[in-house]
């Protein structure tokens, strides 16, 4: 497992390189938030917020592992972005080997789970970026 808080955005940046975006800008100001990535492709605008998942229960990844009002705020901003004409996504970088699913942690922070369901219903894409973790490397698979 990797617990370096900087790793998810680095992994997501590498993942984005393989997705054909013509422009990628990290730390993009949108509304009252700084969203992790703004991207462009084929004349379309995209926003993506990245979250690192480090909690596993019975082979399933859960986020968050602690309450995150900031995470709720970001999901609400992404929901608004969809209404403003952006493609929006919340990407969960799975920082453990073998996890194939991520769910909101309703026990730790029910409001995050509600915000995630509302975001999905509004058209925010939920992306899971699985990683292979070794002593020397974290890479998306």
Residue 2 has pLDDT above 50, yes or no: no
Query: Which of 57-61, 72-76, 97-101, 111-115 comes out lowest in average pLDDT?
Result: 97-101
Could you report the per-residue pLDDT of 84-139, keeping only the tens digit for each? 999 999 999 988 888 889 999 999 999 999 999 999 999 999 999 988 777 776 66
Burial per residue of 111-122, b for 16 or more beta-carbon CB atoms within 10 angstroms, e otherwise: ebbebbeebeeb
In the prediction, which pLDDT does 72 show? 97
| pTM (2 d.p.) | 0.92
Mean pLDDT throughout 43-61?
A: 94
**Alpha carbons 5 and 10: distance in angstroms, whole number:** 10
For the chain, state the CA radius of gyration.
Answer: 14
Query: Which of 44-58, 63-77, 91-105 comes out lowest in average pLDDT?
Result: 91-105
């Amino acid at each position: 497992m990797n617990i370096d808080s900087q790793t998810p955005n680095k992994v997501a940046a590498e993942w984005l390189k393989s997705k054909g975006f013509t422009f990628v800008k990290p730390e993009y100001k949108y509304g009252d938030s700084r969203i992790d990535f703004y991207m462009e492709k084929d004349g379309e605008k995209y926003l993506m917020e990245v979250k690192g998942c480090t909690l596993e229960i019975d082979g399933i990844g859960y986020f968050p592992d602690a309450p995150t009002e900031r995470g709720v705020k970001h999901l609400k901003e992404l929901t608004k972005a969809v209404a403003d004409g952006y493609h929006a996504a919340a990407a969960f970088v799975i920082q453990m080997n073998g996890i194939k699913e991520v769910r909101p942690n309703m026990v730790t922070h029910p409001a995050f789970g509600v915000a995630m369901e509302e975001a999905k219903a509004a058209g925010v894409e939920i992306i899971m970026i699985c990683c292979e973790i070794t002593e020397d490397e974290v890479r998306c698979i």
